[in-house]
Amino acid sequence: MNAIASHKPAPAIPVTQSGVADVVAASKLGLVFNTNDGPVQALSNVDLTIGKGEFVSFIGPSGCGKTTLLRVIADLEKPTSGTIMVNGMTPEQARERRAYGYVFQAAALFPWRTIADNVALPLEIMGISKAERAERIRRTLELVNLAGFEKKYPWQLSGGMQQRASIARALAFDADLLLMDEPFGALDEIVRDHLNQQLLELWARTNKTICFVTHSIPEAVYLSTRIVVMSPRPGRVTDIIDTNLPRERPLDVRESPEFLAIAARVRDGLKAGHSYED
């Protein structure tokens, strides 16, 4: 399967000067970890462009490099070959300009700060005034339906509420790009459905670009405008699927034939990647 199955004929490297740069543009991206057991090819020859306002899911079995790819975009890992641009800059420049909000697998809220103070954390670091901070805390907590929990400590909230607070924290400084690394992986199915719906609403309202790592096929199909299927050893992109579901998606869209067809294609892509000895 061709690695570039994008819906638009974008060049591998975006034209940054024209002002219509892609949010993420990776070309021949590779990353080798040097471990004690020798080098491990975590990413190999990844070509990918992500346009503004897209919701792109990365799906694959563990070890396929989906989290690593997200971390490279976030400048938490350095690629060892190829090029990658974020907003037309190097990932490091993009990180220093606070171009993205990152949501981790766990909420990673600071237990000594209240929910409001946790959301304020990036704002404090970025030197935003106190009045402005209060306003943004109010707005983002409302956005994730946590209004009224400002004075609670993280350990007084449920896992789903903690993860919503961590999303609020990532939204607080209004970066256009949201990177989410299996944010709902540790939550139960019911909470996850609910948060998926809320995330779609949030995406529709804020028009952000979202990169979303998951290992759940229904979650990926339900949320995304595009699904990047990855496979391990070496970590690589095996398929990129455009979903043509309407942007407005009630939960029962998951029983529609279009939905099931896309899910089947994702499953096939994952199977194809599993051509090794198991």
Among 8, 17, 38, 155, binds other proteins (CB under 8 A): 155
Shortest Å distance, C-beta 245 to other proteins: 30
Tokens matching residue 201: 């609403």
Please tell me whether residue 74 binds other proteins under the rule CB under 8 A. yes
Q: Minimum CB separation from other proteins for residue 109, in Å?
A: 9
Q: For other proteins, which stretch binds (CB under 8 A), given 9-17, 95-103, 131-139, 185-193?
A: 95-103
Q: Does 150 bind other proteins (CB under 8 A)?
A: no
Instruction: At 65, give phi and psi (nearest 5°).
Output: 90, 10
Asked if 106 is part of the footprint of other proteins (rule: CB under 8 A), the reply reads yes
Cβ count near 275 (within 10 Å): 8
Q: Is residue 76 close enough to count as binding other proteins by CB under 8 A?
A: yes
Q: Tell me the CB-side half-sphere exposure of residue 114, using CA atoms within 13 A.
A: 11
Structure tokens at 71: 């971390």
Instruction: Find the shortest distance in angstroms from Cβ 122 to other proteins.
Output: 5
Q: What is the DSSP letter of 248?
A: S
Q: 202 is written with which tokens?
A: 């949030």
Q: Are 134 and 162 in contact (CB under 8 A)?
A: no
Question: Whole-angstrom Cα distance, residue 59 to residue 182?
Answer: 10
Which range, of 71-79, 183-191, 241-249, 268-276, touches other proteins by CB under 8 A? 71-79
By CB under 8 A, is residue 124 in contact with other proteins? yes
* Range in contact with other proteins (rule: CB under 8 A) among 7-15, 26-34, 72-80, 189-197: 72-80
Total residue count of the chain as it appears in this document: 278
Q: How far is the CB of 144 from other proteins (least distance, A)?
A: 17
Q: How far apart are CA 25 and CA 48, in angstroms?
A: 6
What whole-number distance in Å separates Cα of residue 38 and Cα of residue 239? 28
Question: Closest Cα to residue 180, out of 77, 27, 70?
Answer: 70
**Residue 19 binds other proteins (CB under 8 A):** no
Query: From the CB of 102, what's the least distance to other proteins, in Å?
Result: 4
Instruction: Determine, following the binding rule CB under 8 A, whether residue 102 of this chain makes contact with other proteins.
Output: yes
All residues at 6 or more sequence positions from 190 whose CB lies less than 8 Å from its CB, including other chains: none
Asked if residue 104 binds other proteins (CB under 8 A), the reply is yes
Q: How many residues bind other proteins (CB under 8 A)?
A: 24
Q: Which residues of this chain interact with other proteins, rule CB under 8 A?
A: 74-76, 95-98, 100-102, 104-106, 108, 110-112, 121-122, 124-126, 153, 155
